[in-house]
Amino acid sequence: MKYRIFLTAALLAGLTSFSSMFAHAQNPIDEEYATPIRTYITNNVKPWLSDPIIINSINRQNRQTSQLSEAEIIAQDEKWHAEVRSENRPFIDKILNNDLSKFLTQKQNESDEFLLEIFVMDAKGLNVGQSAVTSDYWQGDEAKWLNTFPKGPNTIFIEDIKIDESTLTFQSQASLSIADPKTGKTIGAITLGINFEKL
């Protein structure tokens, strides 16, 4: 199934009415839209989810963050928010330049624009690696983490299709739990920004 969506100037002038025109496409359980996303994930993402760079990076960060309190997590998230608005961002740059982030950026580049962003979270919902800057460092209070990590291995959660005003593309976020292949235990999760126009 292939969908092509063309954005015209008239439609862009009225994003509210435009979104309502596609309200039927914003149902995360609509198999017409979820099925091709699941197929893509099965064929093109799951084969590299057990790569040692992903598993080792998550396990290493889990050891570092396992004892963090909620207050400490919120403080780190606030530090991230401050750096997003700043030119000086050592905290963000440290993650963006790590080996996992480079690996995820490569996977995004190899996707032929099907993947618009990729980020991996640990057992607390904190970013471990990412292909681009996210608005938050802590995802643990969001649906992408709450509907994957706590629910165990092989969980996929596909969110509503929305218009991204910065890229003028329709996209959905698909999130998956990540298990350590040695133990079978869920250790983190991954979120993929799906370019709906590429389906």
**What pLDDT shows up at residue 5?**
40
Check if the beta carbon of residue 118 is closer than 8 Å to that of residue 190: yes
Q: Tell whether the model's pLDDT for residue 188 goes beyond 80.
A: yes
**What pLDDT shows up at residue 118?**
97
Beta strands in the chain (DSSP E): 115-121, 127-130, 156-158, 162-164, 169-179, 186-195
State the pLDDT confidence band at 54, using cuts at 50, 70 and 90: very high
Q: Can you tell me the distance from the alpha carbon of 105 to that of 53, in angstroms, rounded to the nearest whole number?
A: 13
Q: Tell whether the model's pLDDT for residue 131 goes beyond 90.
A: yes
Check if the beta carbon of residue 123 is closer than 8 Å to that of residue 130: no
Mean pLDDT score across all residues of the chain: 86
**What pLDDT shows up at residue 167?**
61
Q: Please write the tens of the pLDDT for every residue from 19-51.
A: 333 333 334 447 888 999 999 999 999 999 999
Q: Tell whether the model's pLDDT for residue 2 goes beyond 50.
A: no
Q: Tell whether the model's pLDDT for residue 123 goes beyond 90.
A: yes
State the pLDDT confidence band at 9, using cuts at 50, 70 and 90: very low
State the pLDDT confidence band at 122, using cuts at 50, 70 and 90: very high
**What pLDDT shows up at residue 13?**
36
Q: Can you tell me the distance from the alpha carbon of 117 to that of 184, in angstroms, rounded to the nearest whole number?
A: 26
Q: Please give the span between the terminal C-alpha atoms of the chain, in angstroms, as a whole number.
A: 7
**What pLDDT shows up at residue 161?**
85
Q: Please write the tens of the pLDDT for every residue from 71-111.
A: 999 999 999 999 999 999 999 999 999 999 999 999 999 99
State the pLDDT confidence band at 166, using cuts at 50, 70 and 90: low
**What pLDDT shows up at residue 101?**
98
Percent of the chain with pLDDT over 70: 83
Percent of the chain with pLDDT over 90: 75
CATH fold, domain 9-198, is: Beta-Lactamase (3.30.450)
